């Protein structure tokens, strides 16, 4: 009986994920949802799914369009979910406004001090969506001149920000209540984790152009911004996973920037090793969100595309982590149906004691003292294990659990 209840509950959550996708399709295309379908939704679960993917503003706007289309429509809402949903949407819009305002203050400081800088990711994407606030922002991501890292740190401290992370990775993190979050990047990718992408973006400053009316604020070309969007999405998809919003971002970017040079994009994607990934994700995004395709979505998706879409709308970090580590275990192993205990042990040994090239890149990024004093390098793997055991305890436990259960 308990298993039946669990199976039924699982089916309800799966249905809620598809309902979230439907509302996202409506919202992004300014289409009014079908009242008959909305009436059958488990609003509590659809709202929870939307919030878990930072899509509550977009899906709420779709629901509001239905209510505005016919004031007589009554949506079954015994638990008053719609009022909470609207409140979260309003909070998301207010957060974007406040983040924009604080970013303007930061950019004024950077401009005054002659520090080159460029807005990344959501800062740019939020302006492309049909309505303000539709694309929510968790933080302000800014790339800036690494020569001024300490000066920028001091400015944030003077503004009352808490320093979450400083000079420990390729970005510094600053937080201030109630909602201000900044990630200040000195490079776009870390050498230790994404070596190929780190190398590709090593001289990104040379590819930026000055923003009109500014002396030190820079932008990427439409093509280069799109390439970075793909690369950043790939990083998440190939590690701890990503959600439906990545697909939305691809769709919106391609819709808004129709004049992009496709031959240049393909050439650069091929250099990064992301050509196939981008083509597959772009085709999926077009099928899912293009109004003509979305109407007959399931008839147009291949089995592989459906599996990817299901993963994106479910967006369970634990499931994605297991998928990631299963792939890592099987990598460079002879084809076989099951992962043996020996394969798991060999995988864990490689994770604990990476090769020399990886350790040198890791030390250069995280432990420059060890990198400068090469005679200490033999001790670096032990130091890395101890450091991760303290700082990344939860992530390490998740990986061990995932490998054990595969």
User: Does residue 294 belong to any structural domain of this protein?
Assistant: no
User: Does residue 29 belong to any structural domain of this protein?
Assistant: yes
User: Does residue 296 belong to any structural domain of this protein?
Assistant: no
Distance CA 60, CA 320 (A): 27
Last residue of a domain, one of 36, 63, 79: 79
Entry field: residues in the chain:
406
Last residue of a domain, one of 51, 79, 107: 79
Let me know how many helices (H) and strands (E) the chain has, helices first.
Answer: 21, 7
The backbone torsions φ and ψ at residue 174, rounded to the nearest 5 degrees and listed phi first, read -130, 135
User: Does residue 207 belong to any structural domain of this protein?
Assistant: no
Give the residue from 347, 374, 346 showing the smallest Cα distance to 360: 374
Give the residue from 236, 386, 399, 259 showing the smallest Cα distance to 311: 236
Instruction: Match 């503003």 to its residue by tokens.
Output: 57
Last residue of a domain, one of 44, 79, 114: 79
- Total domains in the fold of the chain: 2
Residue 204 gets the label, from left (phi > 0), alpha (psi -120 to 50) or beta, of alpha
Listing DSSP states for 19-47 in one string gives: HHHHHHHHHHTT-PPPHHHHHTS-HHHHH
Range of the domain at 61: 1-79
The residues, ordered by sequence, that sit 6+ positions from 191 with a Cβ below 8 Å of its Cβ are 198, 361, 364, 365
Nearest 5°: CA angle at 215, between 213 and 219?
Answer: 75
User: Does residue 271 belong to any structural domain of this protein?
Assistant: no
User: Does residue 273 belong to any structural domain of this protein?
Assistant: no
User: Does residue 301 belong to any structural domain of this protein?
Assistant: no
User: Does residue 230 belong to any structural domain of this protein?
Assistant: no
pLDDT digit of tens for each residue in the chain (406 aa)? 677 888 888 899 999 999 999 999 999 999 999 999 999 999 999 999 999 999 999 999 999 999 999 888 888 888 899 999 999 999 999 999 999 999 999 999 999 999 999 999 989 999 999 999 999 988 999 999 999 999 999 999 999 999 988 988 899 999 999 999 999 999 999 876 677 898 899 889 999 999 999 999 999 999 999 999 999 999 888 766 789 999 999 999 999 999 999 999 999 999 999 999 999 999 999 999 988 766 666 677 888 899 899 989 986 433 445 555 555 555 545 544 556 676 667 667 767 777 675 677 667 667 777 777 778 878 888 878 787 777 667 666 766 666 666 5
């Amino acid at each position: 009986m308990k298993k039946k209840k669990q199976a039924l509950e699982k089916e309800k959550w799966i249905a809620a994920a598809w309902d979230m996708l439907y509302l996202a399709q409506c919202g992004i295309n300014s289409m009014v949802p079908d009242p008959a379908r909305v009436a059958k939704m488990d609003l509590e679960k659809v709202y929870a799914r939307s919030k878990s993917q930072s899509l509550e503003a977009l899906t709420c706007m779709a629901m509001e369009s239905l209510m505005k289309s016919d004031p007589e429509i009554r949506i079954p809402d015994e638990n008053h979910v719609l009022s909470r949903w609207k409140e979260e949407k309003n909070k998301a819009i207010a957060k974007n406004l406040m983040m924009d305002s604080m970013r303007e203050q930061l950019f004024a400081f950077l401009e005054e001090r002659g520090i080159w800088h460029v807005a990344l990711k959501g800062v740019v994407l939020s302006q492309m969506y049909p309505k303000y606030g539709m694309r929510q922002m968790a933080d302000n991501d800014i790339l800036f001149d690494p020569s001024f890292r300490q000066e920028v740190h001091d400015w944030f401290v003077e503004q009352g920000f808490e320093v979450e992370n400083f000079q420990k990775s390729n970005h510094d993190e600053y937080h201030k209540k109630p909602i201000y979050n900044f990630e200040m990047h000195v490079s776009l990718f870390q050498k230790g984790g994404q070596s190929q992408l780190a190398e590709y973006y090593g001289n990104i400053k040379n590819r930026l152009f000055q923003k009109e009316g500014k002396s030190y604020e820079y932008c990427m070309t439409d093509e280069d911004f799109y390439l970075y969007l793909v690369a950043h999405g790939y990083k998440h998809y190939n590690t701890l996973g990503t959600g439906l919003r990545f697909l939305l971002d691809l769709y919106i970017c391609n819709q808004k920037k129709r004049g992009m040079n496709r031959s240049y994009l393909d050439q650069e994607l091929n250099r990064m090793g992301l050509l196939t990934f981008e083509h597959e994700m772009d085709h999926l995004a077009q099928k899912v969100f293009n109004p003509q395709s979305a109407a007959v979505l399931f008839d147009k998706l291949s089995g592989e595309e459906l599996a990817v879409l299901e993963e994106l709308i479910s967006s369970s970090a634990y499931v994605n982590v297991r998928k990631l580590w299963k792939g890592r275990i099987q990598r460079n192993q002879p084809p076989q149906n099951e992962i043996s205990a020996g394969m798991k042990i060999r995988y864990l040994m490689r994770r604990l004691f990476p090769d020399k090239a990886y350790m040198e890149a890791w030390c250069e990024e995280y432990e420059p003292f060890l990198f400068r004093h090469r005679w200490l390098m033999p001790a670096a793997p032990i130091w890395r294990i101890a450091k991760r055991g303290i700082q990344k305890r939860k992530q390490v436990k998740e990986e061990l659990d995932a490998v054990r259960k595969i």
